[in-house]
Structure formats: C-alpha cells, structure tokens
C-alpha cells in the first residue's frame, strides 16, 4: 500500500517518518548485480542516501530519501551508484515528477515561483532551476515554431536595473496569425531580432508574407534587411494614436498661446480635451454642438478645429477595405496636410503618413495587425506582475515562452531535468 501511494516505478518503501516540517519517505530500488565494462567482478560497496524534494502528500511537504546501492569493480576500481531518471536525476534537488509538476504550474498556469516553492517546502532557486532545466527543453523543441505567414515585432519594458534604475527592454517576436510568442530577445534595437531571424532557415523566412510593426524605424530596418520579400503593415491602432497625439499637442499649444498658461478646468479647450478624442460618429447631437461652441470660444484661429478634422480623416482610412481607394485616400491626406494653412502638428503628421504610406495601405490587403503582439506583451507583463519584477533575462524568457509560446505540453512526461 505504501508503494502504491508513493507511486514511483520499481521502488520498495523502506519507511515513512513524521518530521516537524515534512514527511520523510525512504525508498530503495531492487536491482540485480550489474556488470562492469572491463568484465571484472562487481560487489556491493555500501549505501548512499540522497534526499530529494517530492510532491506534497495529503497537503504536507515531503522529502524522498533514496537509498542508492553503491557498487565497486574489483578489477578497475570504478565505483558507481544505482540510477533511475524517472525517480530523480543528478544535480536536481527535486524528484523528476516534482520538477515536471513545478514547470507545469509556473509555466502553463502562470503561478509565482515563491508560491510553488512554499507548497513544496523548499527554496525559490530550487524550483526555478528545475523550471529552467525542463522549460528550455520544451521551448527549444524544433517543432514548436512551425511555418509563419505573418510576423510581428514589439517591445516591452523588461526591468529597471542598477543603481540608477536604467530601463532594460525586450523584444517579442510573434506569429500574429496564431497569436503565438515565438521568442523573446533582449533590447529594442534591430541587432537581436536580426540575429534571431538569421538563425532561421532561408526557406522559413521566405514563407513570411506579412510583417507587422508599430511605426518603429528599428523594426522597419529588421524587415528591410532580413525579410525583403515580406510586405510591411503598419498597425492601425498606432496610426490612430499618432493622429490623436498630433491633436493633443495642437490643443496644448493653442491653450498656452491664447491663455498664457496650461489648461484649467474652466478653460474652453480644457473642458473638451476628452471629447476631442471621441470618434465623431459616437458624439450625440448635444455633445457635437457643445464641442463646436467651445472650439469657437477657445480656438480663435481654428487650429484645433483643423487638427480635429485631420484626426477624423485619418480614422476614415480604415472605414473600408478597398486597397485602391486607400491608396488614393492616403495620397490625398498627404497632399492636404502639407498645406501652409494647416497647424504645424498636422503638417508633421502629414510628413509621417507620407513616410509610412505603403505600410498604412498594406493593411487593406493583408488585414493583419500588431494586435496579437500587443496581447502577448500583456501576457509577458502579467508574468512580471506575478513575479513582482524579474531581473534575470533567462528566467524572463523561459517563463514568457512557457506561458505564451504554446509549447507541446504532451512532451512534458518525456523530458528529464
């Protein structure tokens, strides 16, 4: 009955002890006399007890003590012990099943390492070392990354390091069709993503048809260099935000020029700062009339009015899916925004749109965006919140890929720590 409860293959339970902090289960493996490679006579050479952290038993932390039989060859003098990887492996403080269980809870379920370590009754590093040992084999499996049709890049803040809290960034490489995190590389420059893509086979890179990005020159250079055949697609959300930022900058500038101070709650432009960001079709009749009235009161040169209309014109670029109409619309936007009568913020917006015109209109042909990449970034931030911050990039990469990289968890029972 004890052997059945312990649930390990080919072991005999010698005894179970009730210790103050955990249960102590002592086992041994009934093995026959082995043979030495030299052909000499082998005899027993004592017993070696090795203690491992095992899965909790009935809500209590458990230690598994393995009484390993030592053997010695009388001819060559070589000594060794019994070994069974399904029970435990050398240099791992957890049993094999406890290491797999920890990887499943920390990686797939996104639990805190400290929470799992508390349940097992061991230290944080004991659990994290096991998660890294098994997790890297899962995420580096060659079948995890299949064929990719659309690739996305985006950055997120990894940690603040050092005495001066220097920002350290990481770049997520995502399959935007399946919403799968392919890998995490350090920094937000073009160097590491280029190195990662260079390590992929040329045939794999040639299958990528679309490359999504968030109007970043660094990531644009990555795609220009490593994926010249892929069509680059600017993320619609970031195009909308660019227009909204131009409107907000224009409002703040006009506010300072007309009133001589920053916005206050009684100033006309400050009272409509939120209403300006709402889509025009979502405004009721009273809200629209109030918006126009306050613009007349606080915008004597109608600069904010022009910026608001420019924001709405940019939004209308994505009101349809006709590629030819989108090309004509963006060309018209670039031409109109360059007019000298426009505010400086609108003219700057027009120059940016002209620079990214082909990437903006490519959305109407591909219908892919950087939304899945942003969703993966949110999952990475969730891992960071659960961990109360991470400073080791290797740990950060393993935990993010286990959580959002969609590894094949059916391989877990076959992996040894």
Please, what are the domains in the chain? Answer: 1-88 (no CATH), 150-235+372-408 (3.30.420.10), 237-366 (no CATH)
pLDDT exceeds cutoff 90 at 58? no
Q: What is the mean pLDDT of residues 148-163?
A: 94
What per-residue confidence (pLDDT) applies to 132? 96
384: closest CA among 168, 188, 125, 182?
Answer: 168
Neighbours of 384 (CB within 10 A): 18
Q: Rounded to the nearest 10 degrees, how much is the dihedral formed by the CA atoms of 250, 255, 258, 264? A: 170
Contact, 412 vs 100, CB < 8 A? yes
What confidence category does residue 332 fall into, taking pLDDT thresholds of 50, 70 and 90? very high
Question: What is the radius of gyration, based on Cα positions, of the chain?
Answer: 31
Please report the sign of the dihedral spanned by the C-alpha atoms of residue 374, residue 377, residue 379, residue 382. negative
Q: What is the pTM of this model?
A: 0.89
Q: What is the pLDDT of residue 30?
A: 83
Burial of 359: CB neighbours in 10 Å, binned 0-12, 13-18, 19+: buried
Percent of the chain with pLDDT over 90: 78
The CA angle 128-189-213, to the nearest 5 degrees, is: 100
Predicted confidence at residue 8, as pLDDT, reads 83
Q: Map tokens 């909204």 to a residue.
A: 244
Question: For position 371, what pLDDT does the model report?
Answer: 93
How far apart are the C-alpha atoms of 52 and 96, rounded to whole Å? 10
User: Please, how many CA atoms are within 13 Å of residue 223, restricted to the half-sphere of its CB?
Assistant: 25
Does residue 350 carry a pLDDT above 90?
Answer: yes
């Amino acid at each position: 009955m004890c052997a059945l409860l312990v649930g390990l293959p080919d072991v005999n339970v010698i005894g179970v002890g009730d210790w103050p902090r955990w249960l102590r289960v002592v086992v041994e493996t009934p093995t026959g006399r082995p043979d030495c490679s030299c052909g000499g006579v082998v005899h027993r050479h004592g017993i070696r007890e090795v203690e491992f952290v095992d899965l909790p038993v009935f809500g209590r932390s458990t230690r598994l003590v393995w009484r390993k039989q030592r053997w010695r060859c009388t001819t060559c003098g070589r000594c060794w012990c019994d070994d069974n990887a399904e029970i435990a492996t050398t240099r791992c403080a957890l049993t094999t099943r406890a290491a797999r269980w920890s990887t499943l809870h920390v990686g797939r379920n996104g639990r805190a390492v400290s929470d799992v370590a508390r349940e097992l009754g061991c230290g944080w590093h004991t659990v994290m070392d096991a998660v890294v040992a098994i997790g890297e084999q899962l995420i580096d499996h060659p079948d995890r990354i299949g064929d990719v049709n659309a690739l996305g890049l985006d950055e997120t803040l990894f940690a603040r390091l050092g005495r001066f809290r220097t920002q350290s960034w990481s770049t997520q490489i995502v399959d935007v069709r399946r919403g799968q995190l392919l890998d995490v590389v350090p920094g937000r420059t073009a160097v590491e993503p280029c190195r990662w893509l260079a390590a992929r086979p040329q045939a794999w890179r040639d299958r990528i048809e679309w490359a999504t990005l968030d109007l970043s020159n660094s990531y644009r250079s990555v795609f220009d260099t490593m994926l010249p055949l892929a069509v680059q697609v600017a993320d619609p959300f970031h195009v909308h935000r660019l227009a909204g930022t131009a409107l907000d900058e224009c409002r703040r500038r006009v506010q300072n020029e007309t009133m001589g101070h920053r916005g206050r709650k009684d100033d006309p432009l400050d009272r409509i700062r939120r209403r300006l960001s709402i889509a025009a079709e979502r405004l009721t009749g009273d809200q629209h009339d109030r918006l126009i009235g306050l613009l007349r009161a606080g915008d004597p040169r109608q600069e904010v009015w022009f910026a608001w209309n420019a924001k709405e014109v940019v939004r209308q670029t994505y009101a349809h899916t006709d590629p030819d109409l989108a090309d004509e619309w963006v060309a018209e936007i670039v031409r109109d925004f360059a007019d000298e009568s426009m505010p400086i913020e609108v003219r700057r917006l027009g120059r940016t749109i002209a620079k990214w015109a082909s990437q903006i209109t490519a959305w109407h042909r591909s219908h892919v965006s950087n939304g899945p990449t942003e969703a993966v970034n949110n999952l990475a931030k969730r891992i960071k919140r659960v961990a109360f911050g991470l400073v080791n990039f290797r740990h950060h990469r393993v935990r993010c890929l286990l959580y959002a990289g969609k590894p094949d968890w059916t391989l877990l029972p076959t992996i040894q720590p």
